Every structure is written in C-alpha cells, then in structure tokens.
Amino acid sequence: MADPDADQQRMFAQYVLPEVEVLLRVAMSLTTQRADAEDLVQDTLLRAYRAVGRFDGRHPRAWLLTIMRHAEVSRRRQRRPRLLDDPDTELERLAPARDATPEELVVDTTFDEAVDAAFTALPLRDQQVVRLVHVDGLSYAEAAQVLDVPKGTVMSRLHRARKRIRNQLLDAGVESERGGA
C-alpha cells in the first residue's frame, strides 16, 4: 500500500515546486509589495499542497494560478488594499507642492482618485495586464509569459482595460494633464 504522504510530497515536488518562480512574479504583479507577494505565494503553496492529491496532473501552472487568484480574492476580502498606492509616496503626496495652487492640488488628487477607482473597477485579469505592462514595464510577450496566455490576449485585454479606464474618467468628468483622458 502506497504512503499517501509520500505521494502527496512527490506530486507537490513534481507539479508545484517548478512553478514557484512564476508564482512569485505573478504575485508581485498583483500585490506590488515583496512581502505581500511572498505571503500570497506561501498561501498558494499551502493550498496547493492540501489539494495536490486531487490534482489530475494536467496544466499545473493554470491550476496554481487559479489557486493564487482565489487566495488573492480571499485576502482582498479580508483587507481591501489600495493597489495603486505606494506607502512611501503617500506621505509625499500629502505635502503640498511648492509651486502648486490650491486648484492644482485638488485636481491632482481628484485625478489620482478617479484613476484608482477606474483601475480597481476593472476585472482582476485586466488589472493584472495593466499592472504588468504599465506599472512593471513588461513587454506584451513578457506579460503573456507571466500570465501564461497568448500575446494577443494580453494586447486585447490591455486595449479593453484602457478603454474602460478612459470611459470611466470621461464619465467622471476628469481629464489628464494632456487635455484628454
């Protein structure tokens, strides 16, 4: 009779461990903070270890990314992080700019809040693409590799996400510094 723990450990080593680097890259694109990304990967690995006995062995990366997505949704429910905020720049943002007029300060804050709201209103998969390409600076091909989707999928998701953000900014009556959303 086979040892269930040994089978579980073997399957974990075979299907899960080779994907840890990809999981960390995707987690960084979701959380932006290394410690949060590591926590998300650890949570994903723990969930995968518990479920590996029920895994059929096909498409381990897709299986793990699904687990990660569910783990991140659970984490967001517990604490609603602001994805676009960087704690280090928040303090700088609170200090008034030396040459800024009161009107400029209000418009900048309003624009940032509108962009943040438009971004968080996107479906998670579109948020991931926007973050990977526009925040992390990955090429379409690199983002496609991280998400394990075709390059064309990245391009179409990015196009839809930009359009949704632009429309939401227009609906909110907010324009960028370039004179349009």
User: Quick one: tokens of 137?
Assistant: 């600076």
> How does residue 128 score in pLDDT terms, banded at 50, 70 and 90?
confident
User: Quick one: tokens of 163?
Assistant: 């359009």
**What is the DSSP secondary structure assignment for residue 83, as one 8-state letter?**
T
What pLDDT score does 111 carry? 66
Contacts 24+ apart (CB under 8 A), 53-59: 53/4, 53/7, 53/8, 53/11, 55/11, 55/15, 57/11, 57/15
- Which one is predicted more confidently, 13 or 104? 13
How far apart CA 155 and CA 108 sit, in angstroms, is: 29
The CATH number of 4-78 is 1.10.1740.10
> How does residue 73 score in pLDDT terms, banded at 50, 70 and 90?
confident
Domain ranges in the chain are 4-78, 87-171
What pLDDT score does 181 carry? 42
Q: Does the fold of domain 87-171 match that of domain 4-78?
A: no
Q: What is the pLDDT of residues 142-159, one digit of tens each?
A: 788 878 889 999 999 999
Q: What is the pLDDT of residues 48-67, one digit of tens each?
A: 999 898 888 888 988 898 89
CATH architecture of 87-171: Orthogonal Bundle (1.10)
- Which one is predicted more confidently, 51 or 86? 51
